[in-house]
Chain A
Amino acid sequence: DTGVSQDPRHKITKRGQNVTFRCDPISEHNRLYWYRQTLGQGPEFLTYFQNEAQLEKSRLLSDRFSAERPKGSFSTLEIQRTEQGDSAMYLCASSKGTAQETQYFGPGTRLLVL
Chain B
Amino acid sequence: GENVEQHPSTLSVQEGDSAVIKCTYSDSASNYFPWYKQELGKGPQLIIDIRSNVGEKKDQRIAVTLNKTAKHFSLHITETQPEDSAVYFCAASDTGGFKTIFGAGTRLFVKA
> A99 and B43 in contact (CB under 8 A), knowing A41-B104, A42-B89?
no
| Size of the chain B interface, CB-CB below 8 angstroms | 28
A45 B101 Cβ-Cβ under 8 A = yes
**B46 CB-CB contact with A under 8 Å:** yes
**A101 CB-CB contact with B under 8 Å:** yes
Residues of B within 8 Å of A107, CB to CB, are 41-43
B46 A40 Cβ-Cβ under 8 A = no
Digitize B92-112: 1 where CB-to-A-CB distance is under 8 Å, 0 elsewhere: 010111111111110000000
The smallest beta-carbon distance between A92 and chain B, in angstroms, is 8
The smallest beta-carbon distance between A104 and chain B, in angstroms, is 7
Query: Which of B's residues lie within 8 Å of A, judged by CB?
Result: 4, 6, 31-32, 34, 36, 41-46, 49, 51, 89, 91, 93, 95-105
Query: Which of A's residues lie within 8 Å of B, judged by CB?
Result: 4, 31, 33, 40-45, 48, 50, 55-56, 91, 93, 95, 98-108
